[in-house]
Structure 1
């Protein structure tokens, strides 16, 4: 079911299936969110929970038992209920059930809060531990944006670049696809914008370690005045990704990452894992500003 929130600047359509943003349009009808063409990638902006990336052999162990789970977890493929909604905001909720317990042995409540404020869409991913034991999890977001944004032929893919407000040197995570290789960390300077070209993503996502800081990236071009700025708060990792030769780019705030190639498979030892005690709450927040 598609739900809509809006203000005088933006109209946002959100699917209760996966609590996924399907569309963001400005007052002139410009569409920012990737169309979801199955030729390249059928999704738009999935929520990642309770893992980010892929588990080694698509499985992990907890308390001596083995569980199987696909890439990025199950939340993106489950139906959320509308817990509450106003004109400019909505709360979508997923609660643990028999189906989730087969993949993930924890009681939880997941509430995705979307709220518009002028040209900005705020997303809060609220994770509640409703279990009687420590809960282990990762969360993230995967919003994809059309490149080019203007679809009248005046812009090209390689007119666009990603600029970083937080300049400096970062650790770039290398992958033995689809797993992280933490023994092979490279340094990357983000003082200059990254020019987009299709081959940039032939070896999978570009992922840097942010180490629980605020982090801002902007997707834009010199041809038009339109673009998107993503700001993640207390972010652990940041990713830039696109499918091969696809006309979109994802700006991804992550609080977790794919398994390391040397993982022992125990969820409590997983790289980038978060944990909260019973009755505690974890909030992952990021803003998307559209111009």
Structure 2
């Protein structure tokens, strides 16, 4: 386990999946990150690559072949190599190999960096295409945060999600695990969205974003919470239903699950990125813990 630490926070990252597993306030010992209780969800903050969400029948076509890949791709289950580390920053890397090519026949280098600055943890990912052909891919993050935070008397429903800019967003409905991107619906977020487990009866709330957006998870009952800022085009808000799980995920996505109208062709998948040869793609978010 890798550790970053400054005067305010202690952060732990597992090289398996380059997964953020813990963010603790040094003074109060408050743990912000979901601790992967398998009774609810056995992960903390997986990195989603080279797909976001689920493929129809867990498979896709590329060229003349059909490939099998499970939800959110394989990066979350692969060991990353530590490239560089200081007391407050670490960079890890995953490159294509025979194991990845059996699932995804493409060369890539995925480099992720975690940087701790005061009360904030910054995450950045760089996808590089070393090949001579275009790289089709999606990427996303899936951090889970404890709810309640630091108040044994607080309840899940005491918390709210506040989105800034405050406005009406377009929500991408999910039909089962698949996106229905042709039938987006308005969601009024000019006021905070109160949390309730029933909010996730049809899986995640998926917002379409068009500018830098900050999503804050907080409660009027205490001063603790998190604020996530990103320029991702989509954001998922999720907690497993019907389980009464004591956490919420705030998920910046550069991609979506297969559409209900998906053909199975990876190159025409909804929200897929096409990275030209020898080019880089950057994705980032930052979380302030308070």
- For Structure 1 versus Structure 2, the TM-score category normalised by the shorter chain is over 0.9
Q: Do 2:54 and 2:257's aligned partners in 1 also have CA atoms closer than 8 Å?
A: yes
Match of 1:218 among 216, 219, 231: 216
Describe the SS at the equivalent of 1:199.
helix
Counterpart of 2:70?
A: 70
1:18 partnered with 2:17: yes
Describe the SS at the equivalent of 2:184.
strand
Counterpart of 1:266?
A: 265
C-alpha deviation, 1:182, in angstroms: 2.2
Counterpart of 1:129?
A: 129
Listed as ranges, the matches of 1:113-262 within 5 Å are: 113-151=113-151, 153-211=152-210, 213-233=211-231, 235-244=232-241, 245-262=244-261
Describe the SS at the equivalent of 2:233.
strand
Listed as ranges, the matches of 1:38-49 within 5 Å are: 38-49=38-49
C-alpha deviation, 1:130, in angstroms: 1.2
Describe the SS at the equivalent of 2:101.
helix
C-alpha deviation, 1:183, in angstroms: 3.0
Q: Do 2:175 and 2:202's aligned partners in 1 also have CA atoms closer than 8 Å?
A: no
Q: Which structure 1 segments of 5+ residues have no match?
A: none
Within 2, Cα distance between the matches of 1:130 and 1:166?
Answer: 37
Within 1, Cα distance between the matches of 2:130 and 2:69?
Answer: 21
C-alpha deviation, 1:121, in angstroms: 0.3
Within 2, Cα distance between the matches of 1:270 and 1:167?
Answer: 30
C-alpha deviation, 1:64, in angstroms: 1.7
Counterpart of 2:102?
A: 102
Deviation beyond 2 Å, 4+ runs, structure 1 = none
Describe the SS at the equivalent of 2:229.
strand
Listed as ranges, the matches of 1:48-87 within 5 Å are: 48-87=48-87
Q: Which structure 2 segments of 5+ residues have no match?
A: none
Within 2, Cα distance between the matches of 1:186 and 1:10?
Answer: 39
| More strand, by proportion | 1
C-alpha deviation, 1:246, in angstroms: 0.3
User: RMSD of aligned C-alpha atoms?
Assistant: 0.9
Describe the SS at the equivalent of 1:183.
helix
Within 2, Cα distance between the matches of 1:274 and 1:140?
Answer: 12
Equivalent residue pairs, number: 287
Describe the SS at the equivalent of 2:17.
coil
TM-score, reference length from structure 2: 0.97
Within 2, Cα distance between the matches of 1:221 and 1:172?
Answer: 24
